[in-house]
Structure 1
């Protein structure tokens, strides 16, 4: 199987062939993704095969979000700053073209997104990753350790994300410090 390359969405990518109807994920890519990039509402990343770099296999979006401290599960509140709002990274959308289902591209894109969050967390503070899962996608996220918040919203604490990539914990974020 050919390796996948993840890159920022550009005008060179063919958005017209992308099909992923649940939740309007294909419509978003065709009609709103480039606008969100221009407006700095979201960063959009696409997975492609290097041999066919215009054909989008799947995509995800990342943006900043804040949660109320009390909306985070109590065990995870303690090591966080005592501000009313906590900065997190929103994995706004994650979609795979129906032609590529069953090839673990969703997993690959999720791990790429989480790797980007870990990488940027030393520059821009984030307490974790939040996703608003579409109905039926909850088990995908919980399989990777996401914890339920409210409704269809799930979160993955930054320490858990770091542990996926064996990044040393920041001692200021561990629960052992009082």
Structure 2
């Protein structure tokens, strides 16, 4: 494992000139997305991918887009909290963290947690100029711990997926989670 500090990373929007061919995070779906789909999805204005580089090495990437969540799908306790604040819309705006991956050579450097913190702080900053209440993520089940650490919650109907994953673990299983960035 190569030791690096998050502050030494350079974060750049994915462009045509970037070489992403050597990235290997250990997850086929994430590798395939970066190499085969990320540029097309950016060109089609579906999402935007950012690269995290150390010197000239690609150490991580994340992809995000606009999203919304239907309040009827969140945990009752959270619905009640929002209603107490006078927020009772059918849907609320969100920022979706679509993908996040760290190259295997750089696992153990806290890059994943630091990127989640960057997304949260960026969402909080964005919420000062646009309507933004939540961050959503479709987390790989084996990476759920990362989002649990930052108090993301599973949508109630996701429990079935988690049970299925525990019976038959597969790397592509995901669960949908959310974080109310303004909840105290």
In 1, the alpha carbon distance for the partners of 2:116 and 2:51 equals 11
Choose the corresponding residue for 2:34, options 29, 40, 45. 29
- Please list every run of at least 4 consecutive aligned residues from structure 1 whose deviation after the TM superposition is greater than 6 angstroms: none
- 1:80 CA drift (Å): 6.2
User: Who is 1:145 aligned against?
Assistant: 151
Whole-angstrom distance in 1 between the partners of 2:147 and 2:86: 23
Higher relative contact order (CA 8 A, sep 6+): 2
What displacement does 1:73 show? 2.1
- 8 Å CA contact 2:47–2:64 kept in 1: the answer is yes
Out of 75, 78, 98, the residue aligned to residue 77 of structure 2 is 75
Partner of 2:163: none
Whole-Å Cα distance in 1 between the matches of residues 86 and 127 of structure 2? 14
Partner of 1:166: none
SS of the residue aligned with 1:31? helix
The yes-or-no answer on 1:154 pairing with 2:160 is no
Match of 1:120 among 122, 126, 136: 126
Count of matched residue positions in the alignment of Structure 1 and Structure 2: 158
C-alpha displacement of 1:81: 3.3
Specify the alignment match of 1:12 in structure 2: 17
Answering whether residue 51 of structure 2 is matched by residue 46 of structure 1, we say: yes
C-alpha distance after superposition, 1:53-104 (max 9, x if no partner): xx32111111111211111223333236322222111111110011111111
C-alpha deviation, 1:123, in angstroms:
2.2
Root mean square deviation, CA, Å: 1.8
- Aligned mates of 2:137, 2:145 — CA distance in 1: 13
Matched, 1:65 2:70: no
Q: Which structure dedicates a bigger proportion of its chain to helix?
A: 2
Q: State the alpha-carbon separation in 1 of the partners of residues 28 and 40 from structure 2.
A: 19
Give the match for residue 173 of structure 1: none
Q: Any stretches of 5+ residues in structure 2 without a counterpart?
A: 159-174
Provide the TM-score with structure 2 as the length reference.
0.78
Q: 1-side partners of 2:11 and 2:177: how far apart?
A: 24
Alpha-carbon distance in structure 1 between the residues aligned to 2:46 and 2:73: 23
Query: Do the aligned partners of 1:23 and 1:134 also contact (CA within 8 Å) in 2?
Result: no
Contact 1:65 1:90 in 2 (8 A): yes
Unaligned runs of 5+ in 1: 164-178
Please state whether the residue corresponding to 1:125 is helix, strand or coil. coil
